[in-house]
Amino acid sequence: MRDKPEKSAATLGTLAAFAAYGMWGLFPLYWKSLAAVDAIQILCHRIVWSAALTLCLLAFKRGGLKSLAALVKDRRRAAAVAFCAVVITVNWGLYIWAVNSGKVADSSLGYYINPLLSVALGALFMGERIDRWTGTAVGIAAFGVAFAAIAMGSLPWVSLVLAATFAFYGLVKKKAGLDPLLGLAAETLFAAPFALAWLLREQAAGRGAFGNPANGGGTVETIMLVLAGVVTAVPLLAFAYASNRITLQRMGFIQYLSPSSQLALGVFVYGERPSAGRVVAFGAVAAAVLVYVSTRRRAARELAAKPAA
């Protein structure tokens, strides 16, 4: 009987992970629609409106604001929040810039690399075991990513930074074990004063896009900037919910849904031509996911058959 709640939590966590990565896979459609707006301003609007939304949700949640105050007083958890705020801000900003600079495929490569780091971090810091099938899948995916990097002829820094920042974000979120809404509220509130100061500075200097068609902020774009809080918060809340209920290994491989969707958008919607290296990477990752998914039951049986240490 004890296994049923655990299985139920894992199932809900898996569904939440699919929802989060499915939404993230469609993000280029949203940020491309704001291409006329400066990337840093888009980033700052994401932070400010996400903070406002999550703070309102906490206010309506019983004991929400008290939990936030308690979190601030807890040095260890507050430090985790500060770290998460920094790395997710870097991740968001670089991703927006990449999408609006015609580098959707490069950003997708970063999110192909990220699951490999998630698996490694899960083994190093969370004690998660890597069975031989997972190791095989990781090896296949790693080959594809390495081949793509070599074929590109230069260090794919955009891809590597996106991968590293989100992998460590996921790790720290899991170790801190924060409530999804509380964690996101704390992270965005940490960064919000800096983001708001930047936006006010830009508006005062006449460079702000908010409500200013001359700077790319027409009515539709202004509404989209406000809604950036909802667009940002919903998948992150789903991600945080999932990260507290399933292993980093499972989370890592579900993540391939997002870059696959991004790559498809880059190729079929935005006309980016994938290089031979990226084609090989995509094929290798697809094979890796197939190996991983098709061997989960076998891996579970092998693990159950092993004598306890």
Two tokens, residue 195:
């983001």
Q: What is the pLDDT of residue 227?
A: 95
Angle between helices 257-264 and 3-25 (to 10 degrees): 20
Helix (H) or strand (E) holding 80: helix 75-100
Residue 49, CB half-sphere, CA atoms under 13 Å: how many? 21
**Calpha distance 25→164 (Å, rounded):** 18
3-state secondary structure of 199: helix
Two tokens, residue 194:
């800096």
Residue 109, CB half-sphere, CA atoms under 13 Å: how many? 29
Angle between helices 64-73 and 75-100 (to 10 degrees): 100
CB 292 within 8 A of CB 135: no
Two tokens, residue 47:
């932070």
Q: What is the pLDDT of residue 155?
A: 67
Q: What is the pLDDT of residue 149?
A: 74
Helix (H) or strand (E) holding 305: helix 296-305
Two tokens, residue 297:
């039951």
User: What DSSP line would sit under 128-175, residue for residue?
Assistant: ----HHHHHHHHHHHHHHHHHHHHHTS--HHHHHHHHHHHHHHHHHHH
Question: SS3 string of 28-77?
Answer: HHHHHCCCCCCHHHHHHHHHHHHHHHHHHHHHHCCCHHHHHHHHHHCHHH
**Calpha distance 239→27 (Å, rounded):** 15
CA-based radius of gyration for the chain: 20
**Calpha distance 109→95 (Å, rounded):** 12
Successive 10-residue mean pLDDT values, the chain, 309 residues = 65 90 92 93 96 92 89 90 94 94 85 79 81 83 79 77 90 82 91 96 94 91 94 87 80 80 87 77 79 75 62
**Calpha distance 295→288 (Å, rounded):** 11
Residue 44, CB half-sphere, CA atoms under 13 Å: how many? 19
**Calpha distance 233→193 (Å, rounded):** 18
**Calpha distance 53→99 (Å, rounded):** 25
Taking the CA atoms of residue 110, residue 283, residue 258 and residue 139 in that order, the dihedral angle to the nearest 10 degrees is -60
Q: What is the pLDDT of residue 309?
A: 47
Task: Write the CB contacts of 192 (distance below 8 Å, at least 6 apart in sequence).
Answer: 47, 48, 51
Q: What is the pLDDT of residue 88?
A: 92
